[in-house]
Structure 1
Amino acid sequence: MEDYLKLDKQLCFPIYALSREVIQRYRPLLDEIDLTYPQYLVLMVLWEHQQQTVNQIGGKLLLDSGTLTPLLKRLEQKQLVIRQRSKTDERVVEISLTDEGKQLRTKAEQIPLKLIQELGISLEEITVMKNIINKLLKIKK
């Protein structure tokens, strides 16, 4: 009988280990622009969409507002984003980029290509992996 409790039979462990490894490889690249990986993720959402509510960012990053709020406060302290209550619904907090936050995009543009080179895999392999991962997470394009 197959022992499914062996570590080498688990799906979760290689995914967990890969996640840690990729984030660790991001660290020196992000240190150059004084960002943590979660801060980088938030900025990528804002570089793409310009202004988002906390809930919209959380939905895109699969994070709750309790996790996002301190992260957004730190980005605001770095003068990269502005947090303000919506004029139409004060329960909603809108997040937008400052000029400095917009300019940081130029410095960050090379990070994905540097990471791909560092990992030593092709764009095709990355696409296949992302498609499988997105299928598991039920993320649609």
Structure 2
Amino acid sequence: MLALLQRVKEARVDVAGQTIGSIQQGLLVLLCAERGDSDAVADKLLAKILKLRIFSDEADKMNKSVVDVGGGLLIVSQFTLAADTSSGNRPSFTGAAPPDDGRRLYDYFVEQARASHPIVQTGQFAADMQVHLVNDGPVTIPLRTSA
């Protein structure tokens, strides 16, 4: 499972001109399920995201997690994270989970996030979304977990 985390001052997702999810300080989580991913892989990734110390402490060191700062999670599905650009000029997305598996794992990840963290907002799976954010830092962290 792949995630691209962006530490944000604020972020929102719009679909058809309507805001469907928004947070203030926290993490924008762009999420991609890969072929062969499981619930256990999703659990492992979520645990890492919640514990990752990428927020500043009083000494301006990255020493606090999203949990420590009371930040939100905005979770947005993005199968293009699985892009393979090693051949030619058009990316291949064959490494991404098939749509039904991707949706199930995305929904599972969101459900587990909501059970573990008080502020969770989402995009809409497979929708044409516009993501707006103010990247804080900027801080952008790629993560990949596997079984």
What is the TM-score when the length of structure 1 is the normalising length? 0.29
Say which structure is richer in strand: 2
Q: Which has the higher contact order (CA 8 A, sep 6+)?
A: 2
Structure showing greater radius of gyration is: 1
What is the TM-score when the length of structure 2 is the normalising length? 0.28
